[in-house]
Structure formats: C-alpha cells, structure tokens
Chain A
Amino acid sequence: MNYNWNWHIFFEPNPTGSGTYLDMLVSGLWLTIKTALLAWIIALIFGTVIGILRSLPSKTASWIGFAYVEFFRNMPLLVQLFLWFFVLPELLPRAAGLWLKQLPNAPFWTAAIGVGLFMSARVAVQLAAGIASLPRGQKQAATALGLTLTQGYRYVLLPMAFRIIMPPLTSEFLNTVKNTSVAITIGLIELTGQARAMQEFSFQVFEAFTAATVMYLAINIIVVTGMRFLERSLAIPGYITGK
C-alpha cells in the first residue's frame, strides 16, 4: 500500500489556529457527547410520555402513540434533520422563522432535538413493551390498594418497566451517540465532522478516521461497562436478569 503514514500528525498544529489536530478531534468528541446527552434526555422524556400513552386502555391515547411512533420511524433521520433545519423555519410565521434561523448554534440545537425526537419513538416502543411485559396483577394490585391511575404508573408500573428495559435502553443510548454523526449534514462539526475536516486539511485520511474510530469504540466500552454495573444494581430479584 503506497500510503504515507504519519502518526505524528496529531501533534502538529491545525490550520484553524486552535491547537493541534488532536485538540480538534477532542473538541469534536465533546460536541458528540454533549449533543448525544441532550438528545437522550429529550428522547427519554418524550419516549416515556408516548410509551405510557401506548400502554393506556384508551383507544385515542394508544392511537396517538401509534401515530407518533410511525411518524418518526418511517423517515430517515437525515430527512428529519433537514425538515427541522431547512423546512420548519420557512413554514413558521416570518418573525418566528427569522428568530429560528438566527439562533446561535442552530446545528447543535437542531441535532439534539432532531435526534432526540427520532430516538424517542424507539424509547416509546421499548417502554410500551416493558409495561406490557409486567404481569396484569401489578396493575390490579395497584388499583386494589387505592392508587389512582397516575399513582399506579408513578409508583408501580414505571419503576418496574424501566428496570426491565435497561439493557435495550443501553443500546438505544449508544444508537443516539452514533446518530449524532448524521448531523454532520446540517453543519454540526462533531467527532466524525472533525475527522473529516482533519482529513481535508492534512490529507492523512486513515490516521484521522482511525482516531475517530478509537474514540467511538472508547465511548462504547465505557457506556457498556458503566451500564452493566447499573443494570446489576437495579436488577429486579426474581427476574432472569436479577439474582
């Protein structure tokens, strides 16, 4: 392979004047983490609401939940980001659209909200499945104890369901991290974007992508290890995952 390897490139100054190439990648890594965390909070909030709606006995509620999930699942994430970024400001009243367009850090907020809503549909499906997997007696016992529907969800169903769906939620969080890279298309210079920029500045393609790859692997390993501890301490005794 006639490719000129140069692993010292990371310690050479980058042309943007913000330190070395390594600094560039690390700043991308932080942006990836920040975007993913914000997106994940949004996904958890909306996913929980929609997941609960899907599990309610009311026809209207479960239809709303179904429509929400179908809407966000049947369009590519890239297209959804374009809708939020390019289309939404044009369809709003002029003043609101202008305000949106002039928002500082628009790619960051669009990415966090867009990826967050995209992932919320998946969280909702997992949560609805988790609630459905609980024995019917749980809900009945809550009612028999005199808990209202809200209290039943708050104190009985949700704590159980969330602990059961911990493993799939871990992989959904990792998907959130990976999906933030799609925001490169709306100008968010996160980890993949910085690797791409480094490749364009320095022509050291493979070093740049190798570094980004190692960083993504590191995020994965850290999250998976951390979640394994959390899962163990939150496991419900008597369930397969519990002790």
Chain B
Amino acid sequence: MFDNLDFDVIRRSLPYLFLDGMSFTLMLTGLSALGGLIFGTLIALMRLSGYKLLGRIAGLYVDFMRSLPLVLVIFWFYFLVPYIGQWLTGASRPIRVGAFTSSLVTFIMFEAAYFSEIMRAGIQSISKGQPAAASALGLTYSQSMRYVVLPQAFRNMLPVLLTQTIVLFQDTSLVYVLSIPDFLGAASKVAQRDGRLVEMYLFAAAVYFVISCVASYGVRRLQARIAIVR
C-alpha cells in the first residue's frame, strides 16, 4: 500500500513548507485574531451601547457575516479590497493589493463577527454592580469599559477566544481558493509539481492535526486553571 510512496519529498520541501507556507499561515492567523478581536470588541460595544440604531447596525453586520460561507466572503473581499483602497486613498483606479493584505482584511472582517459574539457574552457575564461601582467612583463610560469591564470580560472569555483562534488557524487554509501559498497552498504546490499528492496531503493533515491538538490541549489546561481562580 505504501510501496510506491516517496516520503523524501517532504524532507526536501521542508524549508519551503515552513519558512514560506507556515509563516504565512501563522502570521495571517495572529494578525487576523488581533484585528478581529479589536473590531469584534467595538462591534460588541456598539450592540450593548443602548443606542438603538448603532446596536441595530452592529447586529445586522454580525448576522450577515455569520450567514455567509467563508469561501464566498474570501472571493468578495478579493475583488472588493482594490475598490475600497481606491475609495480610501482617492486614487483614480482600483489599487493593487497583495495576496496577504487582501486575505488579512477578509479574515479580520469575517472573524470580527464571531469574536464580537464572544465578547458580547463576556461583557454580559460581568455583574451589573461592576460598571455601577465604576461610575460611582466617577469613572466615565470609556474609563469604566477600559479599566473595569473589558479586562474582566476578556479574561473570562480567554479560553473561548483561543478556541476560536484555533478554528481561525484551520480556516486560513481556505485562502487556497485564491492560490495563495499558505501552508496548505505550499504543500499543494509541491504536491502538484512532483506528482506526490498522497505524501504531501497526508503530511499537511498531520501538521494541522498536531498543532491544533497541542493548542486545544493548552486551552483546556488554561481553562482548568482559570476555573479554579474564579
């Protein structure tokens, strides 16, 4: 069954797979998680702000993003980002946008919808007495959010946020549809060049599996530690 397989192709392509592919994947994951968290928190604050219109807009955005498949959203932004860039910079024609920027914008906007739901749950889990005490101490709304509510919400939701980041790490593989060499894209390029689909895809699957397993084990341990403190 494994007779005519050549696993040496993996060893030969290791530098390309990890230095180019995996570093792209990890960079995209990290920056998207950060950007998604920031935008997601802002959306959550909009939804909980008490201003009807603001809350409605944020709610629509979240529902809209969450009912679309990521692949479609990737295509949308791939074509839309050059026009957004043109509009932002006032250029006379759609600007050229690199693969990384385009996918980064996509994942930030997409993940913001998911992170915002997590942050909303986190903010709602803080007891009413906390913001009340903050305003009794004379803190303004933004101060109370910044120093009292958000740090606790973030801490309580850390395991969920990290789990979502693991999902994001797996989802970044979908940039494959734009032929971008992330980790899977790099593996697939080597696979097609050398005609070694079986070896490369098995290896890619194993790498994703090990990283996700280790990461979710870490999250479970973190969760156990946080649970004791609370």
Using a CB–CB cutoff of 8 Å, the interface residues on chain A facing chain B are 1-3, 70-71, 73-80, 82-83, 86-87, 90-91, 93, 174, 177-182, 184-185, 192, 195-196, 199, 205-206, 209, 212-213, 216-217, 220
Binds A, one of B9-17, B145-153, B204-212: B204-212
A227 to B48, CA, bound (A): 27
Partner of B174, one of A71, A75, A80, A182: A182
**A178 and B184 in contact, given A74-B209, A76-B171, A79-B208 (Cβ under 8 angstroms):** no
**A75 and B205 in contact, given A216-B69, A216-B72 (Cβ under 8 angstroms):** yes
Q: What is the total number of residues of chain B having a CB less than 8 Å from a CB of chain A?
A: 36
B198 touches A90 (CB 8 A): yes
Chain A contacts for B1, CB-based, 8 A: 91, 93
A2 to B93, CA, bound (A): 8
A144 to B212, CA, bound (A): 43
Pick the 6 closest A-B CB pairs, nearest first: A181-B69, A74-B212, A178-B69, A76-B170, A220-B67, A76-B173
A-B contact pairs, 29 of them (CB 8 A): A1-B83, A2-B93, A3-B83, A71-B209, A74-B209, A74-B212, A74-B213, A76-B208, A77-B170, A78-B174, A79-B184, A82-B201, A83-B205, A87-B198, A87-B201, A90-B197, A91-B198, A178-B70, A182-B174, A185-B176, A192-B69, A192-B71, A196-B75, A209-B75, A213-B68, A213-B76, A216-B68, A216-B69, A220-B67
Q: Closest CB-CB distance, B38 to chain A, in whole Å?
A: 25
A179 touches B216 (CB 8 A): no
Chain A contacts for B197, CB-based, 8 A: 86-87, 90
Chain A contacts for B205, CB-based, 8 A: 75, 79-80, 82-83
Q: Number of residue pairs across A and B with beta carbons under 8 Å?
A: 104
A184 touches B71 (CB 8 A): yes
Q: A76-B170, A181-B71 known; 14 other A-B pairs, CB under 8 Å?
A: A71-B209, A73-B212, A74-B213, A75-B208, A75-B209, A76-B184, A87-B202, A90-B197, A91-B198, A93-B1, A178-B69, A209-B79, A213-B72, A213-B76
A192 touches B83 (CB 8 A): no
Chain A contacts for B188, CB-based, 8 A: 82
A36 to B176, CA, bound (A): 22
**A217 and B64 in contact, given A75-B205, A76-B170, A184-B177 (Cβ under 8 angstroms):** yes
A174 touches B177 (CB 8 A): no
